[in-house]
Amino acid sequence: MKSPSSRRSERRASLGAPVRDRTAPSIAKFAPLPPSFYDRPADVVAPELLGHALIRNTPRGLCGGLIVETEAYLAGDPACHAFGGRTERNRAMFGPPGRAYVYLIYGMHYCVNAVCRPRGVGEAVLIRALEPTFGVELMQACRSVKRSHDLTNGPAKLCAALDIERSLEDTDLCDAASSLFIARNPNADSDHERLGPVARGPRIGITKAAALPLRFFLKGSAFVSSR
């Protein structure tokens, strides 16, 4: 069995291999959401991120898709990684807003979050699922699946498909030159109509504060991780 580090090395190698992907658009087409978008409570930002695009900027081009599921983690929330105060592990959660917080789960999978609130307040939005819309070949090179719906329908799955690891910790999500950023979708209203309505419910896979309705998702998307 291959170790997690071996699998990650293979994914990085695949991202550098020459391949033609006609679905990946130019970076000039995307305008990142500004820091002011994230300088608000995470439970306000989480539903408003739905329909915008998480984009990975790789040597072979861009890949990513529409955010269709999020979870908010708040200051004073026992399930939030910042609940016990600032540590070396969670320091990115304390700002500035609009940065990436990346953490490891089960010793082998990564999850990515968008940091919210002013510097010094530990809140973030977990990106739980994407609808892959461009650069799909790049994502499939990193995460081979039999069913297309399994490519990015979960936080660890989308990180694997986009080759998101701890090295992207503290990346500026508001800069189109970053290796990872979130872009405004000019067609967000029509995509909400196509994939909506927005639904809300308890967060998944946690034991503390599990009943809080802080998960948001576009109910009509096939890529939502759980119903």
Longest Cα separation, the chain: 47
Q: pLDDT tens across 117-159, in order?
A: 999 999 999 999 999 999 999 999 999 998 888 999 999 999 9
Model confidence pTM above 0.75: yes
| Structural domains in the chain plus CATH codes | 4-15+34-218 (3.10.300.10)
Question: What is the mean pLDDT of the segment spanning 30-36?
Answer: 95
Q: pLDDT tens across 74-122, in order?
A: 999 999 999 999 999 999 999 999 999 999 988 789 999 999 999 999 9
> What integer pLDDT is reported at residue 75 of this predicted model?
93
> What integer pLDDT is reported at residue 189 of this predicted model?
87
> Using CB atoms within 10 A of its CB, is residue 109 exposed (0-12), middle (13-18) or buried (19+)?
middle
Q: Is the pLDDT of residue 176 over 60?
A: yes
Q: Which two tokens stand for residue 106?
A: 């089960």
Q: Cα–Cα distance between 65 and 68 in angstroms, integer?
A: 9
In the chain, pLDDT over 90 holds for what percent of residues?
Answer: 77
Residues 6 or more apart whose Cβ sits within 8 Å of residue 113: 73, 93, 100, 101, 102, 103, 124, 125, 126, 127
Q: Residue 211's closest CA among 105, 82, 79, 106?
A: 79
